[in-house]
Amino acid sequence: MKKIIIAITLIASIFALSSCGKDTIAKRATKKDLKIGTAFASDVYDPEGQERIKEFSNIIVAENIMKWANLRPNAKFWNWSDIDNALKFAEENNIDVKWHTLFWHQQNSNFLYNMKTKEDAEKMMDEHITTVMQRYKGRIKVYDVVNEMFEENGSFRENIWYKLMGEEYLAHALTVARAQDPDAKLYLNEFNNECVGHPKADAMYNFVKKLKEEGVPIDGVGMQLHLATDLPFEPDKIRANIRRYAELGIDISFSEIDVRIPASKFNDPAEIEMQKYIYTTLLDIALTEPNVKSYIVWGMYDRTSWVPATFPNYGNACIYDVNYNKKEVYEEIFNKLK
């Protein structure tokens, strides 16, 4: 009997050590019906990056390769290969892929600025949605249809689509997208839209409510959540906002989370604690508000994070450090998902 018990224990330990048997954040989140993951860049193509993605993610999002300038740098050429390779890796590992983003005011291709009329814009928009969504129908399950459509004061951002089509470009894009793939989840994605009472957050809520009332197809709102340890963090206002969306039947994605630390305080225990507190409080919210469907960190690790290039006096915003070492916050997320 003793020998049998030893043999069973041995087999169980070997299984636990192999990657297929390893308990991971990705597996724990899947059991809790939460999509968790990261934006990917080159890490999706290198073995170490792939291992980290597999242990952390059951959903991934392209940081850049699905934006116009990368996907369609000129009117005739579509660069599918990077996307196809990433999708192949994801599918082999049972990881969902979110499309980011069909329309945005940044990283557009130059030829888009040749459009002159509403008809030009509609035609271009329809062609883009149709080409992408027909190609990936049933494989890409979530889309950021439009990214960053509001200004901080709550007015519409005057991007190239707004200038030619007016506010209706948003309903148009959503409607055409739904027709292409009725099963895909359609999101509008934004930053600084998480706290009830903020002009942009309220404008977005009112706009989404209007879309719902008019029967425009929309499934969710992305809250990017690019946060900092030295700026206000107001979880009660975030919860209140999420709940008013729940009443509309709207899902929420925590779509681009990162928590940057001032460079002068990288080793300050209080800042590190604050970063942990923000990441884990957001996870608490995601686990307790049923309409929060995903918790996505913007970048796997600090080496490729967009933060230092944009905020020169900040950094260390991700879950893994510059060498792919797990920070303490990783363990906290792992434990919270138990």
Q: Which positions are annotated as active-site residues? A: 148, 256
Using CA atoms in the order 203, 101, 277, 310, what is the torsion angle rounded to 10 degrees?
A: -90
CA-to-CA distance for 297 and 227, rounded, in angstroms? Answer: 11
CA-to-CA distance for 141 and 167, rounded, in angstroms? Answer: 26
**3-class secondary structure, 39:** strand
Please say which residue, 282 or 337, places its beta carbon nearer to ligand G3I: 282
Strands 251-262 and 314-315: antiparallel
List 78, 156, 277, 306, residue binding ligand G3I (CB under 6 A): 306
Show the DSSP H helices in 232-297 as ranges: 235-248, 269-288
Kindly indicate which of the ranges 12-20, 63-71, 165-173, 282-290 contains the residues binding ligand G3I, using the contact rule CB under 6 A. Answer: 63-71
- Is residue 63 involved in binding ligand G3I (CB under 6 A)? yes
Q: How far is the CB of 107 from ligand G3I (least distance, A)?
A: 4
Tokens encoding 74: 């000129």
Kindly indicate which of the ranges 61-69, 157-165, 194-202, 270-278 contains the residues binding ligand G3I, using the contact rule CB under 6 A. Answer: 61-69
Please say which residue, 63 or 219, places its beta carbon nearer to ligand G3I: 63
List 30, 107, 130, 175, residue binding ligand G3I (CB under 6 A): 107
Interface mask toward ligand G3I for 250-269; x: CB under 6 A: ------x-------------
Amino acid at 153: N
Please say which residue, 241 or 305, places its beta carbon nearer to ligand G3I: 305
Please say which residue, 146 or 285, places its beta carbon nearer to ligand G3I: 146
Closest to 311 (Cα-Cα) out of 230, 199, 253: 230
H/E stretch holding 69 reads helix 68-71
- Binding residues vs ligand G3I (CB under 6 A): 63-64, 67, 106-107, 147, 224, 256, 306
